Structures are given as C-alpha cells and as structure tokens.
Amino acid sequence: MHLSIRRLYKTFDEFVALDRISLDVGEHEFVCLLGPSGCGKTTLLRIIAGLMPFDGGSLMLGETDLAAMPARARGFGIVFQSYSLFPNMTVAENIGYGLKIRQEASDAIQTRVEALLAMIKMPQLADRYLHQLSGGQQQRVAIARALAVDPALLLLDEPLSALDARVRVEMRTEIRDVQRRLGIPTIMVTHDQEEALSLADTIVCMNQGRIEQIGTPQDLYLRPRTRFVADFVGQSNILSAEWIAEASPAHLEERPTEGVHELCVRPEEIRLSPGGDAQVIDVSFLGNVTRVRVAWRGRELVAETPGLADFAAGATVGVAFGRGAWVRA
C-alpha cells in the first residue's frame, strides 16, 4: 500500500519543525531521508509512526486516514535512534514480542525468531539480556524485532549508527535485501550520504523543516537543484557565474546563466595534468581516490582522481573541467 503525505505541518510552540512536507512512498519503495541535524527527520518519522500529533496537512496509507489511527493499530515496524528494546527480556523475547502480542503459536514464533537471529548473524545470542550486548548488537536486535511482524511500513531512524564501518555496510545490504524480498515500503533516516546513495530508490533531502529535493540517488548527485543539495550530497565545487565569466575556464562547456544560479562541478569532473597555471595546495590519499586541492584563478578547487595522484603540494598543474549542473544559489 502506498503512503501519501500532503502539506504536513508541525510546530513546537513558535518553531516550525515541518513546513508543508509532501511525499509519496510507493508499495515497494526504499526512501532515505537525508539532511543535517535538526532538520526534522525524526519528527517526520515519529508523526508517520503515530507517536506525535501534527498541526496540518494529511497522512494516508492507501485509503486509510492515519491521523485518526493510534500507533499500535498502524502495524508499522519501527527502529528509533535510541533502540528502545525491553531490558527485562532476552534477545529472543524482544524479537518475538510483536508476534506474542498477536497471540501467534509459540513454535511459529520460535521458527521466525530463529530465522531473524540468523539474518542478523546472532544465532548464539538468543538468551542474552540487553546489558550483555554491544550497541551494534542491540541495534541489530531492534531491526529484527521491527521485521518480525511483517510490517506494512518500515520506519528506521539511523538504525546503523552504532555499527562499525564494516558491519554497517554488511547490515545495510542485509536491510536492503530483506526489504526487497518482503517488498515493504521503507523510510530510513540517515546522516550518511553514502548510505543514502547506495540504498535508496528515492532520496528526500531536507533542510530546516522543508524538502529541498526529492529524486533518485543519480538525480541528487548529478542534477542537484539547489546549492544546499549540491553541498550536502557529495563533494562539490560551487562556481559562481561571475567567477566563470571572469576566469573563463577553457574546457568548461557550461556558459554562465543569470545571477541566481551557480554551477556545481563534482571533484571527479575536474581533471589535472602536469604543468599549468594552477598550484597544488595539498593532496590526501583516501584509498580508492586521491583528493587534490588546487588554487586557480582566485579560488580553490577540489579534484579527485582514482588511485594515486602524480602531484605533490606546491606542484603546478593544468585544470580541465568536465560536466557541471546549474543550481539555485
């Protein structure tokens, strides 16, 4: 079933936390909410979950108006920033909790819990209590518990934040696979743009209670519409029309447009060659790419090349531009 949010409005006293948010989440869609701290991501998720009232707009799941429906009746799977597991229950009891509430048969519950324990790679930890688990393990239990009830909608608020980089990548693949297999519409909040780019069908980029842009990962990366999105999603060089007119980069195909627009050029679209009129400021090796900052015609540019760069700080290099995208300043 399809979630439809229209002009959702939420204030805390005078403060506008959500400013007329409109968003659709399709039946099998994986949506990531991406945005800086305080932009309203958790507030939006809590409202969808039914844990917080809102002041205006509408929230529908298929033909059902969710505004009138209590959280419990919505049947959503929820994993919050603080995992809110039950401390007096074992791992297995936590995961099976929702099924027990529904009075499912105990052997069916056990089978399901075992499958989920295998999925989160904690088959031996079924009888542990929360205080005997690491933060990352607790997070995985919370995810398993949310999935146990075959939720109509999965709401995840930074579910991977306590995991180390390696397990995090593993778990996100896991979440994505399960989500695909079960076809559950999912909304996941993340700070991590790489996570959003790699997981989402659709990314919703938020800023100060508003939606800046909704699109596929490719849309947001290759065709950001605003300076905020260009800056927030990935690295970028934001070039003003004035600078482009003055510096007139030789290879740049984009011509300046009127005042309010700026050109976003991604670091991999700036290519450096030995000998030229730019000077290398510094070089950082990041593993898969090398990031090179250069000074050229009165500004600083960031370039990235796969593998090692042939330049050291202080070297002179030539600069060639690939494609860019015009964004609203």
Q: Which residues bind ligand ATP (CB under 6 A)?
A: 12, 17, 35, 37-43, 191
17 binds, among Mg ion, ligand ATP, none (CB under 5 to 8 A by kind): ligand ATP
Q: Rule CB under 5 A: which of 31-90 touch Mg ion?
A: 42
CB 220 within 8 A of CB 200: no
Q: Shortest Cβ distance from residue 199 to ligand ATP (Å)? A: 17
Q: Which residue is nearest to Mg ion (CB)?
A: 42
Q: Among ligand ATP, Mg ion, none, what does residue 39 contact (CB within 5–8 Å per kind)?
A: ligand ATP
Q: Closest CB to ligand ATP among 232 and 296? A: 232
Max intra-chain CA distance, the chain: 75
SS3 (DSSP) at 268: helix
Least Å distance, CB 302 to Mg ion, is 29
Residue among 113, 194, 202 at smallest CA distance from 160: 194
Q: How far apart are CA 60 and CA 207, in angstroms?
A: 23
Q: From the CB of 157, what's the least distance to Mg ion, in Å?
A: 6
Both tokens of 277, joined, read 């009129």
Shortest approach of Mg ion to residue 155 CB, angstroms?
A: 12
Q: What is the DSSP letter of 110?
A: H
User: Side by side, which strands form the sheet with 299-306?
Assistant: 299-306, 289-296, 270-285, 316-321
The residue (of 15 and 68) whose beta carbon lies closer to ligand ATP is: 15
User: Which C-beta is closer to Mg ion: that of 42 or that of 193?
Assistant: 42
CB nearer to ligand ATP: pick between 35 and 217: 35
SS3 content of the chain, % helix, strand, coil (to 5): 35, 35, 35
Count of residues near Mg ion by CB under 5 A: 1
When the beta carbons of 12 and 286 are compared against ligand ATP, the nearer one is: 12
Strand 289-296 relative to strand 270-285, pairing: antiparallel
Q: Which stretches of the chain bind Mg ion, using CB under 5 A? A: 42
